[in-house]
């Protein structure tokens, strides 16, 4: 459908920024503008539904995760699929993230690195340090005083 030069006025009506008998009568007469307004209203309705979905605040997260774990543990093993169907994709992603984190935190202990060499550089106040970790990884650290770089 060819767009109408009046669409900008349709947006103003939609935003509540403008309204007049002339705009309304154009809207009545112009299928392009009516379709455009209907599309905007569908989009607004879609956002309203999204906003209505409950959000989990950071402070609520531990309790939420505890509940989630309780539900998973309390669920009969025979119907795990039904249980999982209750959670949204976002929740599933969260659970995956949490389980990855717990694997990492119970994994091998962090590699200890030892500073074997430390030098100063021509950048005022900056130093470099070379560390070699237990697994043989060599890392060169450049420490620059904050805000003094540029
Ligand atoms: Zn129009």
> How many angstroms is it from 28 CA to the middle of ligand 1?
9
**What is the per-residue pLDDT for 79?**
47
What pLDDT, in 10s, does the model give residues 95-139? Answer: 555 555 554 555 555 555 555 555 555 666 666 666 667 776 666
- Give the span between the Cα atoms of 118 and 137, in whole angstroms: 17
> How many angstroms is it from 45 CA to the middle of ligand 1?
22
Residues 6+ apart with CB under 8 A from 115: 129, 130, 131
> How many angstroms is it from 32 CA to the middle of ligand 1?
5
What pLDDT, in 10s, does the model give residues 31-69? Answer: 999 999 999 998 888 777 766 666 666 777 777 777 777
What pTM did the predictor assign?
0.36
Average pLDDT, integer, range 20-37:
93
Residues 6+ apart with CB under 8 A from 65: 98
> How many angstroms is it from 46 CA to the middle of ligand 1?
24
């Amino acid at each position: 459908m060819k767009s109408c030069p009046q669409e900008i006025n349709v947006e103003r009506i939609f935003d509540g920024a403008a309204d007049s008998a002339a705009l309304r009568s154009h809207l009545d007469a112009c299928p392009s503008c009516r379709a455009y307004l209907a599309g905007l209203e569908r989009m607004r309705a879609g956002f309203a539904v999204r906003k209505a979905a409950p959000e989990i605040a950071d402070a609520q997260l531990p309790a939420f995760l505890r509940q989630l774990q309780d539900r998973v543990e309390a669920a009969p093993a025979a119907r795990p699929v039904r249980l999982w169907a209750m959670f949204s994709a976002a929740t599933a992603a969260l659970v995956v993230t949490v389980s990855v984190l717990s694997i990492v935190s119970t994994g091998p202990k962090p590699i200890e690195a030892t500073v074997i060499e430390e030098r100063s550089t021509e950048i005022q106040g900056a130093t470099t340090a070379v560390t070699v970790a237990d697994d043989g990884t060599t890392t060169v650290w450049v420490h620059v005083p904050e805000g003094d770089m540029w």
